Amino acid sequence: MGDTGQALRQTSDALLRDLDVLATIEAEKRSLEPGDPRLVQLAERIEEIAQRVLVGSVRQRQLTEVVTEQVETASPDAPDAPIEDTPRQIQAILADWREAERRATAAPHDSAEAAEAQVLVAQLRDEYRRAHEAAREH
């Protein structure tokens, strides 16, 4: 599998993480009383993440076009498995997890940034555990 399969996996993972974070922050925002200063803070964070989702979805479409062409031309660089079955490098997961931990620590308590970082930390911890277990099995 070539770099396109890994890029598609990374883009898909980022989109799923961002969508999960959006849902979590939106749920929190819905529970706040009108006039709570966190409403604006959370809404701004939601807007930022939604913009990332838009950019990521464009990137994903571009990558899928490349993959389609690779498959149609029987390129040796064409991915040979669905995105879900394409393993992400454990080093990349660990680096993302560490970065999310740093963001969580640096973010002001009860901020939108802290909420986002905590969701990412939990997701990446689980992904790392699954990747580590899969590596031991092989």
- Over residues 27-72, the pLDDT tens digits come to 999 999 999 988 999 999 999 999 999 999 999 999 999 999 999 9
Structure tokens at 19: 């969508």
Measured between alpha carbons, how far is 131 from 61 in angstroms, rounded to an integer? 26
- pLDDT > 90? residue 116: no
Q: Is the pTM of this model over 0.95?
A: no
Three-state SS for 114-131 is: HHHHHHHHHHHHHHHHHH
Domain boundaries defined on the chain: 3-137
Q: What does residue 74 show for φ and ψ, rounded to 5 degrees?
A: 55, 40
